[in-house]
A and B are shown apart, each in its own frame.
Chain A
């Protein structure tokens, strides 16, 4: 079955893509660039680097844009999925949704409307095991946004390694955040994955942080051989 991967460049959509590849053919990545930093559906900090990730993975990218207004962005998403159907003949869509009913049910409705299959291979997955799998399978991701207490500026640009996950596990208990960032508490950007032919190297980045909220914006990056 040819599938299109709804891809934001973060750990969840990248891991879901890898998992989909173990069972079906991922024909393209689908990405929506939102002009609204508070987008309900699409995270934004480094989505402009998704084309570099697509190149690293050797997958075609179908990209659309949205103003990011609630509900309107769903019509924009529908249009870009429609484009992926026309260009790559996809029969279904894969998402990296973990728990969000808001995200999952809206994408399910779009797929039902377009007569597409919809897969959510991380749906209600065990968060501890998932993060451990990310590391053991060779995914490398950095934290590119924090949007909740108690994250301070030191978290920005930090690699999601064993030490970071251990700290996140503590914070998840003490501050009632989701371990995976599913509640929008933090965002990630993937530099390397098992299906990437090349890895991404961040050459320059800038951080902006103010009262529990901050972003790590990559300004220059390149591919290097693995």
Chain B
């Protein structure tokens, strides 16, 4: 079971179709069952029973999640791979002691890998769709994996398979989500 966390402004919002459903579709097409939970309704039970967790993005104006960094403290306790997309990367940064910096990008930009990692390996440069109003200053010891001209595009926890990516892989880079699902790591 793959847990998809909806970070949008409220449960069952109009943004669900734009930021959660396309990611859930990729996961389903990859052969995994999906459970979608809004960030406000995550329980320990939800977190205990999943193989991997994906945190989805939000609308450009939707930063409600960032006002509640404590609601992402669970990320320090889970022991399954986590992928944070856009707002999900921002939430991951906040949960581990990083911060957000104003940086608006809308549309396609070039992402350049700066460090080898199984998630992005073989795609040293690629075009990606951006929709964000803030970039991140990564938490201490997090590794920067990729950048654009404007900001950091991918980061990773120093030991655990916790990834943050700022671009939207559900648009023309589905391979990133597929690869995350296929990464052979399992944390004991």
Q: Which A residues have a C-beta under 8 Å from some C-beta of B?
A: 19-20, 23-24, 92, 94, 101, 105, 108-109, 111-112, 115-126
Contacts A23-B14, A117-B60 supplied; 19 other A-B pairs, CB < 8 Å: A19-B17, A23-B12, A24-B14, A92-B61, A94-B14, A101-B108, A101-B172, A105-B106, A111-B61, A112-B104, A119-B15, A119-B18, A121-B17, A121-B18, A122-B17, A123-B17, A124-B170, A125-B17, A125-B22
Q: Which of B1-31 contact A (CB under 8 A)?
A: 12-15, 17-18, 21-22, 25
Partner of B21, one of A105, A109, A117, A125: A125
Q: How far is the CB of B29 from chain A (nearest CB, A)?
A: 9
- Which residue of chain B lies nearest to A116 when distances are taken between CB atoms in the complex? B61
Give the contacting residue for B107; candidates A101, A118, A124; CB below 8 A: A101
Confirm or deny: B70 has a beta carbon within 8 angstroms of a beta carbon on chain A: no
User: In the complex the two chains form, is B171's CB within 8 Å of A112's CB?
Assistant: no
Residues of A within 8 Å of B171, CB to CB, are 101, 124
Q: Collect the chain A residues with CB atoms within 8 Å of residue B133's CB.
A: 112
Across the interface, B14 reaches (CB within 8 A) one of A105, A115, A119, A124, namely A119
Count residues of B near A (Cβ-Cβ below 8 Å).
Answer: 23
> In the complex, are the beta carbons of A112 and B60 less than 8 A apart?
yes
* Cβ–Cβ < 8 Å partners of B106 in chain A: 105, 108-109, 112
CB distance from B17 to the nearest CB of A (A): 4
CB-defined contacts of B12 to chain A, threshold 8 Å: 23
- Please give me the 10 A-B residue pairs with the lowest Cβ-Cβ distance, nearest first: A105-B107, A124-B22, A23-B14, A121-B17, A123-B18, A108-B106, A117-B61, A120-B18, A119-B14, A109-B106
Could you list 7 examples of A-B contacts with CB < 8 Å? A23-B14, A105-B131, A109-B106, A116-B61, A118-B60, A119-B59, A122-B17
Could you tell me if B129 and A101 are in contact, using CB atoms closer than 8 angstroms?
Answer: yes
Min CB distance B74 to A, Å, is 27
Distance in Å from the Cβ of A41 to the closest Cβ of chain B? 15
**Interface pair B61/A105, CB less than 8 Å apart:** no
Q: How far is the CA of A48 from the CA of B106 in the complex (A)?
A: 31
B108 near A105 with CB under 8 A, answer: yes
Question: Shortest distance in angstroms between B27's beta carbon and chain A's nearest beta carbon?
Answer: 13
Distance in Å from the Cβ of B61 to the closest Cβ of chain A? 5
**Please, how many angstroms separate the alpha-carbon atoms of A94 and B15 in the complex?**
10
* 8 Å CB interface, B153-188 against A: 170-172
Cβ-neighbour of A19 out of B14, B61, B104, B108 (below 8 A): B14
Q: In the complex the two chains form, what is the Cα distance from A112 to B59 in whole Å?
A: 11
Q: How far is the CA of A19 from the CA of B13 in the complex (A)?
A: 11
Q: Would you give the 0/1 interface string for B58-102, flagging 1 where the beta carbon is closer than 8 Å to chain A?
A: 011110000000000000000000000000000000000000000
Give bound CA distance, A124 to B22, whole Å. Answer: 6
Considering the complex, give the chain B residue whose CB is closest to the CB of A23: B14
CB distance from A139 to the nearest CB of B (A): 17
Residues of B within 8 A of A126 (CB): 25
A140 to B18, CA, bound (A): 24
In the assembled complex, the Cα of A92 lies from the Cα of B15 at a distance in Å of: 12
For the complex, give the distance between the alpha carbons of A23 and B8 in Å. 13
Task: Report the minimal beta-carbon distance from B172 to chain A, rounded to whole angstroms.
Answer: 8
Q: Is the CB of A23 within 8 A of B108?
A: no
Nearest CB of A to B38, in Å? 14
Q: Which of B31-75 contact A (CB under 8 A)?
A: 59-62
